[in-house]
Each structure stands twice: as C-alpha cells, then as structure tokens.
Amino acid sequence: MGEFTLELNEDQKQVRDWLHGFAADVMRPAAAEWDEREETPWPIIQEAAKLGIYSLDFYAQQFFDPTGLGIPMAMEELFWGDAGIALSIVGTGLAAVGVLANGTEEQIGTWVPQMYGDANDVKVAAFCSSEPDAGSDVASMRTRAVYDEAKDEWVLNGTKTWATNGGIANVHVVVAVVDPELGSKGHASFIVPPNTPGLSQGQKFQKHGIRASHTAEVVLEDVRVPGSCLLGGKDKLDERLARAREKARTGGERVKNAAMATFEASRPAVGAMAVGTARAAYEVALDYAKTRVQFGRPIIENQGVAFQLADMATQIDAARLLVWRASWMATAGKPFTAAEGSMSKLYASEVAKKVTAQAVQILGGNGYTREYPVERMHRDAAIYTIFEGTSEIQRMVISRALAK
C-alpha cells in the first residue's frame, strides 16, 4: 500500500500555479468591471481558450486525474480569482457533465466539443433543469418531452429557469418529463442542438452576485429534436422506465434520476468553488488586518480580530479537506454511503458565506464599499448555499443517508 499523503504532486502544482497566475493577472483586474456590466465576459473566456484553460482537453485532463483532485484544485484557483468570471468559464462544464453522466460514447464525442468551440470561436453550453415551480422539488417538473415515433423525434415544451448560459448557449441540455406517473423517475435528458427552432431566451436575471455569469430562463415551444438527442438512447430509457414502473408496483432498488446524476457528480466541485471564494476573502482580510493600524498597532494584534482570522483559516482548510475526500472517493469508485459529496458542498458553502461576511466585518466601513473586493465576494458567496441543491436539500440528503 502506498504512503498516505495530501501533498500535491509536481504536475498538479504546476497546473495550480498556472491557473493561479491566470486568476491573478487576467481575472482579478477585470472582476469589478464585469460585475458592474452584468454581462458575459467573452474576452476573458476567449483568453482562457487561447491559453487552453477553456477547453474540453483541459477539463478532461483534470477529470481523469487519478487522485481526483484535478477538478477541485482548478475550481478553487479560478474562483479565488473571481466567482462571476469563473462561473462564465466553467459553467459549460455542468452541461458537459450532464452528457458524460447520461450519454453514449457517440453522443459525448459529438456534442461535448461543440459546447466549447475553439480559441477563435468560443461557445458555451447550458444545463436546464430548474423550473419556475420546480427547483429543489424535481418531482414537480412540468417540461414535457413526447416521442413522435413516425418521425423519430422528441417534442419538448416548457420553461426552464436559473439556467447558466441559458439562451446564449450553443448547446442546451434539457431535463424533461417523459412519464408523468413516475414522478422524478420519469425524467430524461435531451440535447437541443444549435439554432433549433422553438428554443428562446426568456427573462435574463439581474442578480445579487456572480453578475458576470449569464443566468436566464429558457423557453421551449414545440422544440423538435432527433431521437439521437435523447441522452443514453431510447432503449436505455425504456429499460429504466420499466424498472421504475416495476419498483413502483412492488418496491425495490432505487432508480437513478437523470438530473440528480449530474448534481451528484458536481457537488464536490461546487464545494471547491466556495473554498476558492472563501480563501480569497480571507486573504484580503488577513492582509488588511496586518496593515490597518488603529490605536497605535495593527488590528491583527487585537484578539477579537486575530481569533476571527484563526477561525476563518481553520474552516477553509476543513472545507477543502471535505471536498478533497469526496473528490477522491468519486474517482476511486467509493460510494457516498454517508452522502460525502453533499457534506462537502454543504460545509464549504456555509463556510464561504460566513468567511466573506467576517472579511467585510474586519475591513469595517471599507469592507462595505466596492473599493475593496470583499463586498463583491460576500455577494458572490450567497449563491453557494442555493444553487445545485440548497443547504437544506444537502442536509436532507445527508440525513436520509445516515438513516439507512
């Protein structure tokens, strides 16, 4: 058995330092501007593409890191740079994970490259699951997909909301109901190719934070997609629906839900995003506390400030370790028997909110102004306890796992 270590290897350190340089030199100087503009930072995404950061190859390399730490390490560094810009860079990844989790090899090879484009013509993708009346309650989803057997086409109708890159994406991955009687087990995921008639952008949301990331409604009106756009294929869907119906009749093994498979795979990565934002705010607060002089000495020499910083550092490290454990378990094929993926996302998200709030407090009045980045970081951190499963949903998942 190999020696236990939490030390990154040399290749991982090189990637980390490379990403950190991009975050520091390209993202941070542009962060305030794109936050104010509330627009997708296409020039930054293109620069990331030119460097190879925004590309299928890069994320594949990190995804297949045998330690499992490639993705969380990358997420932490990019979100240390700026959460809004980083989400614009990595938001396509959720749609890609949706295809990787549910698609065939042919579908993966066909559609995932089109989600990214290339350095000269960058594209983005969107994963569309939430609806106006069905966020955490996926069983209440209303978007329908009906199979037209004569034409071998699926017809999609409904409205999706809170879609990162929704409406501006080259490729949309849409979760829809194919069998309403099965509740959340009667869902399937579909690729909507570029320029498909009937798909349009609805309301674009003006958000509290992560404002450089485009979030909008996606409206589907008689959207027809070829049968080949059903992720996994119809034979696999029919088999899964048959198992779900049998389970409903007799009770039995749990049947995987298409949207949940995507979220389960991405939760540790979201935890890593939260760690990056928390670490960024902590570092600003630490530097400020060392240089801000009040009553003749730096404020870090006051126990009230020093103890806050000690707690912040400890909580960030603990959050990172939970994220790394879950990421390693997923790569090693170890099941989340105690919902370790949800644990990592829950704790890191709560830490990000708390640490960024403490950073604002340590900077005092300065922390409340846009002259200092902790104000933006605090706004950005609020999303982590909401998207891809609220903290309440994570606690429900964890408690159910413990009750088994």
Task: Tell me how far the alpha carbon of residue 370 is from its chain's centroid.
Answer: 26
Residue with tokens 């964890």: 398
Residue 279 makes CB contacts below 8 A (sequence gap 6+) with: 76, 80, 316
Task: List helix spans (H) across 186-257.
Answer: 234-250
Active-site residue identified among 77, 217, 375, 388: 388
State yes or no: is 36 an active-site residue.
Answer: no
d(CA 78, CA 261): 24
Tokens representing residue 243 in the block: 């198992």
Amino acid at the residue 125: A
- Write the burial class of residue 345 (CB in 10 Å: 0-12 exposed, 13-18 middle, 19+ buried): buried
Report d(CA 86, CA 303) in Å as an integer.
35
Direct distance between the N- and C-terminal alpha carbons of the chain, in angstroms, rounded to an integer: 31
Q: Give 135's DSSP letter.
A: S
Nearest CA among 53, 70, 192, 184 for reference residue 131:
184
Backbone angles phi, psi at 91, to 5 degrees: -60, -30
- Nearest CA among 285, 278, 270, 263 for reference residue 372: 285
CA atoms of 352 and 300, how far apart (whole Å): 21
Q: Does residue 132 sit in helix, strand or coil?
A: coil
Residues 356 and 377 sit within 8 Å (Cβ to Cβ):
yes
Contact 258, 102 (CB under 8 A): yes
Distance, C-alpha 51 to centroid of its chain: 22
The set of catalytic residues is 388
